[in-house]
A and B are shown apart, each in its own frame.
Chain A
C-alpha cells in the first residue's frame, strides 16, 4: 500500500480536485503483481496509473528506470510527457520523464540506454528494440512498474502479443516487476487480466465508476435512408444542423474512403462555412497535427474522422459524437461515445446515423445493447506463432539463450500459456535453419547451438533483425504531395490505386479534390485543378464485420410481432418480407430463390459478418459451378449473400453440408489471394522476408525485391507442410477469411434450411441488388481481360497496324 504524500493532497486541493475513488484504490493496491484498471474515457485513468509511481519517486533516492509506460500511439507518449510535467513541476518532484519512440533521435536513444530516466514513455516496438540489445539487463535494472495504456486496444492485435512476450522477458530480468494495465470499458475484464498477468498468476481488477448512461439516439432526418450503400449522404443537412447546435462534434466513419466522401459532400453543403476538419490514418502527419492543434485551440466545430481518433489525446470540448453507418460492434461504439464530454460524471451525447435501410435495424439493436451494457467481443485466440518467431530472433540478437529457459519464459505470457513444446521447437527450428524439408542451410544456419546455448552464427545478423522489428503491416503506400518545390505533403495512397490513375485523373485527399500530375521519385504529385469527378482512393484499413452478438440481436428482433421501436417505413418493410417470404431466424438458415431480369437468383441469409459472407459467396459459387448451375456472380453484405446465374438452384441442402463446404474450402483456400496477402504479412513478422523499404525510399533504377507471392507459390509446390504455410492458414482463418463464423452459422442452423422459391425479388433481398462490390465468377477471366486490354491499347496507340502478322501467333515447333 502506498500512502499519498501530503504535498500531493495539497496539489489536488489547490486545483479544486479530489482523488477519485479508483485513483485511491490504485494507490492502495500498488503492491499487486498485476493490476488492471477498467475506467471509461475521461476517468483520470492515466493519472491513476502514474500516481503510485510519482508517490514512490517523491522522496528521491531511486536510481535509474522506475516505471515504463507503453502506449499504442507515439503521439500519446509525447502527450503524457507534457501532462506529467505539470504535477512534477508544481510539486517540484525529483522525477525525470522522457519518451522514446521511432521519432526519437539516435543520440538521445543512446543516452537513454546509458542513463535511463525515471519514467520512460514508449511503444511496444521501441520496447522490443531495447530488449534486443545486449545491455538490456543493465538498462532495465531497478525497474519497478510497467504501465500498459489502452490495453484493450493492444490486446486485439499482434502488437499486444509482442508486448506481452517483451514483458515476459522483462520479468526475467527484473523478477519483482509489477504490471499495471489501463483499459477502456470491455466485455471481458478477466480476459484482459489473463492477457496482462504473468501466467498463471492472478490479476487484480479495479472497476472505476462507469459514470452516467450515455445520452444516445438515432439522428432524426427528414429523408429516409436509402435502400443500400454506406455513405450517409442523405443525412448531411441534419448532421450540419447538429454541428451548428453543439460546440464541437466528432463525426466517426467506419472507413477512410467514406470519411473522405462525406467530408467532401459536407463542405459542398456547408453554407455557413463552419470550420470543419478531417482526420484519418492516411493523411500526412503534418496534416493530422495541424487538425489536432486546431482542435485543441477550439478552432474547429467538427472533425470528420475514423478509428484514428478512437484512441489518443483527450479533448475536453467535444460535446457530441456522431457515428455514420452502423457501428458493427457495440464495444467500439461505447468507446467512441466516451469521447464526448470528457468531464467525468457528465453523460456523453451521441447520435447514430444508419447509412441504409437495413442499418436502421442494426442501429436500433446496437442502441438496445448499449442501454443494457451488453458489450460484444470474441475471445482471444492463442498467441500467433509468427510473433513468436520474431521474439526468438530478438532474444538471439540480445545474446545466447537456452531453449528450455526461453520456452518457460514464453509460456509465462498468457497468450502463449498453451503453447506446446513441439510448437515452440518448430518455431525455433524455423528461426535457426529455415525449417525446410530440404536441409539446405546446414553451413549457413542463422542460429547455431554452442555449449547448449543458441546464438547467432553471424553476429552481424542482429542489425537486420532490429530493422525488421514490429508487427504493424505496412502496405505499399505512395506519398502524395502538392506539385512544386517544397510542395505540402498531403498523405498516402496505396500503390495499387496510384497505378490506376493517369495524369489528369482526380481523387479525394484530405477532403480536397486533387489532380494527378505525375509520379516523381515514387511520390505522387498533384495540383488543385479539379476538373473531373474524383475517383475514390482505396485505403488499407480494416473493414469490420458486424459482431456475432449484434447479429444475434437483429435476429431476435425479427422474432417480434411488430416493431414499434423502428421508424414506420422500416417496420413496414420487415412486415412485407414476413408476408411475402419469411424473416431469417437464428437457428434456421433462410434461402430464397427467385428469377429476376432473366437470371436465377439465390439469396442466403447467413448473418455471419461481411468477411465470412464474402467467403461463403466464393465457396458456394465454386460448388455451384461444379454442379453445372452456371453462377455468374455474387454480392455480399454483413447479413446475406446474393448469387445470380443461369440455372435455378433446386436443392440447397447438399451445398450446405458441413463436410462438403469444408472440403471446398480447403481446395479454394490454398490458391486464394487472401492467403498470399496473409503469407506476406506473416513472413515479414517471422523474419523470412525483410520489411520492404517504402516505395518512397526506393531509388530509381533499382529493382524491388521479388514479391512474397513467389515464395508462397514455391513453398506450396515444394514444401507444402512448411511452418510458414501452417501459420498463414491459421492467420487467414482468423482474419479476412473468417471461416470460424461460417462454422458458427452451420452449427447454429444445423441443417435446418428453409428454402423458399418465389416468382420475384423479396423485400429483404431487394437492397442487395443495389449493393456495390459485385464479384464476378470467373475462370480464365484475367487472361481474357488482359488480351482485350492489350488489343485496345495497341489499337489506341495505332501500333496494331505496324504489326507484321496477327498479334497472336502460334510458334511452329
Chain B
C-alpha cells in the first residue's frame, strides 16, 4: 500500500492511494462517503438501474485497507449509506460482511446529510468525533481547526504532456482536511470549484489517489473562481 505521509494539525497522517486516511499514532483508519446502497436507491426512485455490485466492490476495497492496516478504530465520515432506506435494504451478506469488518474494532459512524438517522448496525453513531487535535465531521464547519471532513468528493484534474488525468483527491491546508469519496459509485467535484477556494483559503495541497498517492499544490485559480 503506497501512501503519502504528511503533517496536519501537529499529527502525522498518511493519505492512502485507496482514498482512506491512516493515523498511525492512534491506529485510526478513516473513510468518507461510502454511499452504500446508491444503486438500490436510484432504482427505487425510478432512476437508472445501475449494476448492483457497488456495495460488494466498496466493501471489498474497505476490507483490503482494514486487513493491511489492522486499525483499532474505523471512522466512517458520513454519507456511509446513500439514504436510510438503502441501509435498511442491504442484503444479509453485506450486513454480515460489515459485522465481520467491525469485529474487534472500535467503529464510529458519523452522520451525514444522506444518512442522518441511526441504522441497525454495530458501532457508535455520532455528529462529530474528536480525538486529540483532530475533529472528524461530515461537512466542514466555519472557522474549524484540525478538522477532517468529507461531503464534497473533491477530484483533481492534471494535464500530463497532453494526457488528461483525473483522480479523486484529499485537499488540505493548515487547518482543514477534506477527504475524497470512497464509495465506488460516487462522483467528484473539481478541485477548482470556488467552494474549495472558500474552505481552503491558505496555501493548500491536493493528494491524488491512485496506485500511489501523489501530492501536488492546490491550484490557486480556486480563489478567483
- Given A499-B159, A706-B186, A783-B211, A811 and B3 touching (CB < 8 A)? yes
Asked if residues A786 and B210 are in contact (CB atoms below 8 Å), the reply is yes
Residues of A within 8 A of B57 (CB): 714, 717-718
Asked if residues B187 and A703 are in contact (CB atoms below 8 Å), the reply is yes
Q: How far apart sit A811 and B24, CA to CA, in the bound complex (Å)?
A: 9
Tell whether A273 is near chain B: CB-to-CB under 8 Å: no
Asked if residues A706 and B189 are in contact (CB atoms below 8 Å), the reply is no
Asked if residues A794 and B215 are in contact (CB atoms below 8 Å), the reply is yes
Tell whether B117 is near chain A: CB-to-CB under 8 Å: no
Other-chain residue from A433, A446, A496, A811 in contact with B46 (beta carbon distance below 8 A):
A446
Asked if residues B49 and A718 are in contact (CB atoms below 8 Å), the reply is no
Q: How far apart sit A787 and B208, CA to CA, in the bound complex (Å)?
A: 11
Q: Give the contact stretch, choosing among B101-109, B125-133, B216-224.
A: B216-224
B90 CB, min distance to chain A CBs, angstroms: 11
Asked if residues A444 and B44 are in contact (CB atoms below 8 Å), the reply is yes
Tell whether B114 is near chain A: CB-to-CB under 8 Å: no
Contact with A along B47-66 (1 / 0, CB 8 A): 11111111011000000000
Asked if residues A706 and B22 are in contact (CB atoms below 8 Å), the reply is no
Asked if residues A703 and B210 are in contact (CB atoms below 8 Å), the reply is no
A748 CB, min distance to chain B CBs, angstroms: 35
Q: How far apart sit A461 and B48, CA to CA, in the bound complex (Å)?
A: 10
Residues of A within 8 A of B121 (CB): none
Residues of B within 8 A of A783 (CB): 210-212
Q: How far apart sit A464 and B52, CA to CA, in the bound complex (Å)?
A: 20
Give the residues from 770 to 813 in chain A that come closer than 8 angstroms, CB to CB, to chain B: 782-783, 785-787, 789-790, 793-794, 796-797, 799, 803-805, 807-813
Q: Give the contact stretch, choosing among A214-222, A302-310, A682-690.
A: A682-690
Contact with A along B68-94 (1 / 0, CB 8 A): 111000000000000000000000000
Asked if residues B164 and A496 are in contact (CB atoms below 8 Å), the reply is yes
Residues of B within 8 A of A672 (CB): none
Q: Give the contact stretch, choosing among A49-57, A205-213, A435-443.
A: A435-443
Q: How far apart sit A797 and B153, CA to CA, in the bound complex (Å)?
A: 25
In the complex, the chain A residue whose C-beta lies closest to that of B44 is: A444
- Given A717-B57, A718-B56, A705 and B217 touching (CB < 8 A)? no
Asked if residues A794 and B217 are in contact (CB atoms below 8 Å), the reply is yes
Asked if residues B53 and A706 are in contact (CB atoms below 8 Å), the reply is no
Q: How far apart sit A518 and B197, CA to CA, in the bound complex (Å)?
A: 15
Q: How far apart sit A715 and B16, CA to CA, in the bound complex (Å)?
A: 25
Tell whether A503 is near chain B: CB-to-CB under 8 Å: yes
Residues of A within 8 A of B46 (CB): 446, 456-458, 460-461, 464
- Given A703-B153, A805-B5, A438 and B217 touching (CB < 8 A)? no
Other-chain residue from A441, A700, A703, A794 in contact with B188 (beta carbon distance below 8 A):
A703
In the complex, the chain A residue whose C-beta lies closest to that of B60 is: A717
Residues of A within 8 A of B217 (CB): 793-794, 796-797, 799
Residues of B within 8 A of A500 (CB): 159, 162, 164
Residues of A within 8 A of B161 (CB): 785
Asked if residues B187 and A705 are in contact (CB atoms below 8 Å), the reply is yes
Q: How far apart sit A711 and B44, CA to CA, in the bound complex (Å)?
A: 19
Give the residues from 1 to 15 in chain B that come closer than 8 angstroms, CB to CB, to chain A: 1-7, 14
Residues of B within 8 A of A807 (CB): 4, 215
Residues of A within 8 A of B52 (CB): 434, 436, 438, 440-441
Residues of A within 8 A of B192 (CB): 519
Other-chain residue from B48, B193, B194 in contact with A690 (beta carbon distance below 8 A):
B48
Asked if residues A703 and B152 are in contact (CB atoms below 8 Å), the reply is yes
Tell whether A704 is near chain B: CB-to-CB under 8 Å: yes
Q: How far apart sit A790 and B4, CA to CA, in the bound complex (Å)?
A: 12
Tell whether A578 is near chain B: CB-to-CB under 8 Å: no
Q: How far apart sit A274 and B25, CA to CA, in the bound complex (Å)?
A: 74
Tell whether A719 is near chain B: CB-to-CB under 8 Å: yes
- Given A458-B46, A688-B48, A700-B194, A714 and B184 touching (CB < 8 A)? yes
- Given A436-B51, A500-B164, A790-B216, A710 and B184 touching (CB < 8 A)? yes
Asked if residues A518 and B215 are in contact (CB atoms below 8 Å), the reply is no
Name the residue in A440, A519, A717, A787 with the highest tally of chain B Cβ atoms < 10 Å from its Cβ.
A440
Tell whether A100 is near chain B: CB-to-CB under 8 Å: no
B175 CB, min distance to chain A CBs, angstroms: 16
Asked if residues B188 and A706 are in contact (CB atoms below 8 Å), the reply is yes
Tell whether B40 is near chain A: CB-to-CB under 8 Å: yes
Tell whether A599 is near chain B: CB-to-CB under 8 Å: no
Residues of A within 8 A of B54 (CB): 714
Interface size class of B (residues with CB under 8 A): 35 or more
Residues of A within 8 A of B2 (CB): 808, 810-811
Asked if residues A717 and B53 are in contact (CB atoms below 8 Å), the reply is yes
Contact with A along B172-207 (1 / 0, CB 8 A): 000000000000111111001111000000010100
- Given A785-B161, A789-B158, A807-B215, A701 and B195 touching (CB < 8 A)? yes
Asked if residues A794 and B194 are in contact (CB atoms below 8 Å), the reply is no
Asked if residues A714 and B22 are in contact (CB atoms below 8 Å), the reply is no
Residues of A within 8 A of B44 (CB): 443-444
Asked if residues A782 and B51 are in contact (CB atoms below 8 Å), the reply is no
Tell whether B39 is near chain A: CB-to-CB under 8 Å: yes
Name the residue in A518, A688, A790 with the highest tally of chain B Cβ atoms < 10 Å from its Cβ.
A790
Q: How far apart sit A813 and B48, CA to CA, in the bound complex (Å)?
A: 41
Tell whether A707 is near chain B: CB-to-CB under 8 Å: yes
Asked if residues A701 and B43 are in contact (CB atoms below 8 Å), the reply is no
Contact with B along A712-729 (1 / 0, CB 8 A): 001101110010000000
Tell whether A569 is near chain B: CB-to-CB under 8 Å: no
Residues of A within 8 A of B22 (CB): 811
Asked if residues A790 and B215 are in contact (CB atoms below 8 Å), the reply is yes
Asked if residues B221 and A518 are in contact (CB atoms below 8 Å), the reply is yes
- Given A706-B187, A797-B217, A789 and B160 touching (CB < 8 A)? yes
Asked if residues A700 and B152 are in contact (CB atoms below 8 Å), the reply is no
Other-chain residue from B195, B210, B216, B225 in contact with A793 (beta carbon distance below 8 A):
B216
Residues of B within 8 A of A710 (CB): 184-185
Asked if residues B189 and A704 are in contact (CB atoms below 8 Å), the reply is yes
Q: How far apart sit A797 and B16, CA to CA, in the bound complex (Å)?
A: 23
Residues of B within 8 A of A786 (CB): 158, 160, 165, 208, 210, 214
A633 CB, min distance to chain B CBs, angstroms: 13
Asked if residues B40 and A444 are in contact (CB atoms below 8 Å), the reply is yes
B203 CB, min distance to chain A CBs, angstroms: 8
B216 CB, min distance to chain A CBs, angstroms: 5
Q: How far apart sit A704 and B168, CA to CA, in the bound complex (Å)?
A: 12
Residues of B within 8 A of A797 (CB): 203, 217
Tell whether B157 is near chain A: CB-to-CB under 8 Å: yes
Q: How far apart sit A383 and B52, CA to CA, in the bound complex (Å)?
A: 28
Residues of A within 8 A of B225 (CB): 518, 520, 700
Asked if residues B49 and A444 are in contact (CB atoms below 8 Å), the reply is yes
Residues of B within 8 A of A703 (CB): 152-153, 186-189
Asked if residues B4 and A809 are in contact (CB atoms below 8 Å), the reply is yes
Tell whether A702 is near chain B: CB-to-CB under 8 Å: yes
A601 CB, min distance to chain B CBs, angstroms: 23
A505 CB, min distance to chain B CBs, angstroms: 11
Other-chain residue from B24, B47, B185, B186 in contact with A464 (beta carbon distance below 8 A):
B47
Other-chain residue from A444, A518, A796, A812 in contact with B224 (beta carbon distance below 8 A):
A518
Q: How far apart sit A303 and B4, CA to CA, in the bound complex (Å)?
A: 55
Asked if residues A787 and B212 are in contact (CB atoms below 8 Å), the reply is yes
- Given A440-B40, A710-B185, A689 and B5 touching (CB < 8 A)? no
Q: How far apart sit A519 and B224, CA to CA, in the bound complex (Å)?
A: 9
Give 17 CB contacts A-B under 8 Å. Answer: A434-B43, A440-B40, A444-B43, A446-B49, A458-B46, A461-B46, A690-B47, A714-B53, A783-B210, A786-B158, A786-B210, A799-B215, A803-B215, A808-B2, A811-B1, A811-B14, A811-B24
Q: List the 6 closest A-B pairs by CB distance, nearest first.
A: A440-B52, A434-B49, A444-B43, A458-B46, A706-B187, A790-B214
Partner-B contacts on A (CB < 8 A): 433-434, 436, 438, 440-441, 443-444, 446, 456-458, 460-461, 464, 496, 499-500, 503, 518-520, 687-690, 700-707, 710-711, 714-715, 717-719, 722, 782-783, 785-787, 789-790, 793-794, 796-797, 799, 803-805, 807-813
Apart from A434-B49, A714-B57, A786-B210, what are 6 other A-B pairs with CB-CB below 8 Å? A444-B40, A458-B46, A500-B164, A518-B225, A811-B1, A811-B3
